Chain A
Amino acid sequence: MGPVIEARGICKSFSIPSVRRETVREHALDFFRPRPHERLRVLEDVGFELRRGESLGIMGRNGSGKSTLLKIVAGIYAPDAGTLAVHAPLTPILELGVGWNPDLDAIDNIELLGTVMGMSLRELRTATQDILAFAELERFAHLELRHYSSGMAARLAYAVAFRAVRDVLILDEIFAVGDAGFKERCQGRYRDLHRAGHSMLLVSHEPRTIATFCKRALLLDHGRIVMDGPSAAVADRYLMLLTEAPAEHAPAAAI
């Protein structure tokens, strides 16, 4: 079977306005003049394959282009150049709790988050109790979300996200919330999904996470893939990079 994701020669740059117009007068005078822009190159000629059933890690310092790459793979950004072929439905989890509404209770928010992540209403009808149980929030099912602690809300979001996984899971910086017990269960769910044959793309700063959950990993630096190999070796190389000179451009993570 072929790979589920094939990326070739992906390039992406963002234009950032280099001169800010502050006053009304500047706005009025400069209105018809083209605004000077600086191109910030975030990804250059990035190519990789995600094989079916594989868990592939991506490492890199802040601003190395990890998040941008994930967003391009997920179809949120269009690449400037290069080709991307995706042969299976993706479930990107780039941020938790996108689209939830603090004025509604957990049941309603499970429906909101779930449908936003691509679940059907029928799937959700049967999944809601499981999700509440996984998040250990059955007692608070009818409590409005704004009364939740941030940890409880994050647990709910994780529980929905893991339930919504279609085929390929794309994760940005996970396993970062909840107490040890909940973290343990998230990691367990991750392993279950992997064992069930799902393909995974996992971004993390944490060398141990990558080494534990991935066999193979990529190392991104300054928008290029500088290493593609066994995850333990990539994690070592990443730690070496950290002790070297700091990354030249940092703002890419903010875009």
Chain B
Amino acid sequence: MFPNLVRLLRYRGLIQSLVARELKARYRGSVLGFFWSFFNPLFLLLIYSFVFEYVLPAKVDGLEPYALFMFCGILPWTWFASSLTESSNVLISGGNLIKKVLFPAEILPIVTVLANMAHFFLGLPILAVFLIYYRAPLGFPEILWFPVIVFVQLVFTLGCALILSALTVHFRDIRDILANILTLWFFATPIIYPMGAAPALGRRGLNMNPFTHLAVSYQEVLFYKGDFGHWKWLLALGAASLAFFLFAYFVFDRLRDTFAEEV
């Protein structure tokens, strides 16, 4: 397992070229091209702003403006959810690469996660503009936590993507189950409601959800006033994610020999 992990480093160039071509191909032939990466989140944010300021004015103390609060959680969630949806299918759709070329299969889910991370990054300028427009209390020391949160999410997402892609080869039903799980997971995460709104029992449940700590961390660093008090949870999640990633890689590595025959 560890020699294989080290071997991955030699495939940096391949990963880089696959991610770049994936991003390039996605918008090939569309007139606005990469602009869509900006426009999609912008449109989402405008709709939320309109709905929660005029249609259904949400006045919760400390959650002003509400649309911006939601956006802080939805942007990373989109990265997470699309990564999982796409990686559950990636070994099957990329079957030819696994069957016909000497190719470490884990590169495919990794590329999926990284390409979606690139989309996440492209959405950040929109977020930044709105944060400045609404005079969000961006503190200097807290903002340094932002890359840490992104890194923890990356490790966690990679672990999920590796396990999902490997298991879907053998149990194709996972693809359909996953869509439902993600819907449930979204509402079980404090993204469209604040953590504080949950009753004590619910809060304990939310704390079991790894993505809760990512969402809350993003909200505390980007949206809320005051210090980043959630850092202990974030670091704990980071350590757990690292362990989970190694476990996921182990599972993937054990199933590796079966891929070429099954896909």
Q: How far is the CA of A218 from the CA of B24 in the complex (A)?
A: 45
B28 — which chain A residues lie within 8 A by C-beta? 103-104, 144
B99 at the A/B interface (Cβ < 8 Å)?
Answer: yes
Stretch among A114-122, A190-198, A227-235 lining the B interface = A114-122
B261 touches A14 (CB 8 A): yes
Q: Which residue of B lies closest to A121 (CB)?
A: B13
A115 — which chain B residues lie within 8 A by C-beta? 13-14, 17-18
B101 at the A/B interface (Cβ < 8 Å)?
Answer: yes
A99 touches B17 (CB 8 A): no
A71 touches B260 (CB 8 A): yes
B18 touches A112 (CB 8 A): yes
A101 touches B21 (CB 8 A): yes
How many residues on A have C-beta within 8 angstroms of the other chain's C-beta atoms? 28
B207 — which chain A residues lie within 8 A by C-beta? none
Quote the shortest CB–CB distance from B7 to chain A (angstroms): 12
Q: How far is the CA of A118 from the CA of B260 in the complex (A)?
A: 19
- The residue in B98, B100, B257 that gathers the most chain A C-beta atoms within 10 A of its C-beta is B100
Q: How far is the CA of A71 from the CA of B29 in the complex (A)?
A: 37
A98 touches B257 (CB 8 A): no
B200 — which chain A residues lie within 8 A by C-beta? none
Which B residues contact A (CB, under 8 angstroms)?
13-14, 16-18, 21, 24-25, 28-29, 96-103, 257, 260-261
Q: How far is the CA of A120 from the CA of B99 in the complex (A)?
A: 21
User: Which one, A95, A120, A121, contacts B96 given CB within 8 A?
Assistant: A95
A99 touches B101 (CB 8 A): yes
User: Which one, A78, A92, A121, A122, contacts B101 given CB within 8 A?
Assistant: A92
User: Which one, A14, A76, A144, contacts B100 given CB within 8 A?
Assistant: A76
Q: Which residue of A lies closest to B28 (CB)?
A: A103
A74 — which chain B residues lie within 8 A by C-beta? 102
Q: Which residue of B lies closest to A14 (CB)?
A: B261
B17 touches A121 (CB 8 A): yes
B24 — which chain A residues lie within 8 A by C-beta? 104, 108
B17 touches A75 (CB 8 A): no
- The residue in B16, B21, B29, B101 that gathers the most chain A C-beta atoms within 10 A of its C-beta is B101
Q: Which residue of A lies closest to B257 (CB)?
A: A78
Which chain A residues numbered 115 to 143 have a C-beta less than 8 Å away from chain B? 115-118, 120-122
A111 — which chain B residues lie within 8 A by C-beta? 17, 21
Given A71-B260, A74-B102, A98-B96, list of 12 further CB < 8 A pairs? A71-B99, A76-B99, A76-B100, A76-B102, A78-B257, A98-B97, A99-B101, A108-B21, A111-B21, A112-B17, A112-B18, A118-B14
Write 28 A-B pairs (CB below 8 A) sorted by A numbering.
A14-B261, A71-B99, A74-B102, A75-B102, A76-B98, A76-B100, A76-B101, A76-B102, A76-B260, A94-B100, A94-B101, A95-B96, A95-B100, A98-B96, A98-B100, A99-B97, A99-B101, A104-B25, A108-B21, A108-B24, A112-B17, A112-B18, A115-B13, A116-B14, A116-B103, A122-B13, A144-B28, A255-B261
Which chain A residues numbered 73 to 117 have a C-beta less than 8 Å away from chain B? 74-78, 90, 92, 94-95, 98-99, 101, 103-104, 108, 111-112, 115-117
Which A residues contact B (CB, under 8 angstroms)?
14, 71, 74-78, 90, 92, 94-95, 98-99, 101, 103-104, 108, 111-112, 115-118, 120-122, 144, 255
Q: How far is the CA of A193 from the CA of B100 in the complex (A)?
A: 22
Quote the shortest CB–CB distance from A19 to chain B (angstroms): 18
Q: Which residue of A lies closest to B99 (CB)?
A: A76
Quote the shortest CB–CB distance from B94 to chain A (angstroms): 8
B98 — which chain A residues lie within 8 A by C-beta? 76
A104 — which chain B residues lie within 8 A by C-beta? 21, 24-25, 28
Quote the shortest CB–CB distance from A242 to chain B (angstroms): 27
Q: Which residue of B lies closest to A94 (CB)?
A: B100
Q: How far is the CA of A108 from the CA of B100 in the complex (A)?
A: 20
Q: How far is the CA of A191 from the CA of B257 in the complex (A)?
A: 34
B97 touches A116 (CB 8 A): yes
Q: How far is the CA of A99 from the CA of B22 in the complex (A)?
A: 11
B96 — which chain A residues lie within 8 A by C-beta? 95, 98-99
Q: How far is the CA of A46 from the CA of B99 in the complex (A)?
A: 21
B260 — which chain A residues lie within 8 A by C-beta? 71, 76-77
B261 — which chain A residues lie within 8 A by C-beta? 14, 77, 255
Q: How far is the CA of A120 from the CA of B13 in the complex (A)?
A: 6
B21 touches A112 (CB 8 A): yes
Q: How far is the CA of A144 from the CA of B14 in the complex (A)?
A: 21
Quote the shortest CB–CB distance from A58 to chain B (angstroms): 17
B25 touches A103 (CB 8 A): yes
Quote the shortest CB–CB distance from B114 to chain A (angstroms): 15
Q: How far is the CA of A108 from the CA of B28 in the complex (A)?
A: 12
Quote the shortest CB–CB distance from A168 to chain B (angstroms): 11
A92 touches B21 (CB 8 A): no
Q: Which residue of A lies closest to B94 (CB)?
A: A99
Q: How far is the CA of A98 from the CA of B108 in the complex (A)?
A: 14
